[in-house]
Structure 1
Amino acid sequence: KRGNGIASAILRSHHRVLDRDGIPAYLEAVSPETARLYGTLGYEPMGERYGLEDGGPFLYPMWREPQSA
């Protein structure tokens, strides 16, 4: 079921490790809605969206710098 916050919880857990080690994160959102969600987790848009070949979805590259505690 959507909306339970499971994906956000998993990302926050992963971010704690990345932040501790000073490692940035990269991901590709599959919609403007998911890009907004990732924005609440510290991700910033990285360049323009791009489409996959053969009519695949647009992807929205995003970057997150390590956060200090």
Structure 2
Amino acid sequence: MKIAEMLPGLDAEALATVRVNAVRLITRGTPKQKEQANAALDLIDREVARREAEAPPAAPKAKRARKTPVAS
């Protein structure tokens, strides 16, 4: 199975792990591993961007009521 086919089925944690491994290979791998990791990193980043674009918008944070000093 090619990585491009595998990425959409991964959960967020697994996708993050694959990304960390790709970055590691880019810095410490053989020339062939670096080439493959660069290609994989591009696919991973596209998948992350796709998921972010499809995610529902975050709910606005509720404002906290101010504490008013009690008159004595």
Same fold (TM over 0.5): no
TM-score (norm 2): 0.29
TM-score (norm 1): 0.30
Higher helix share: 2
Higher strand share: 1
**Higher Cα Rg: structure 1 or 2?**
2
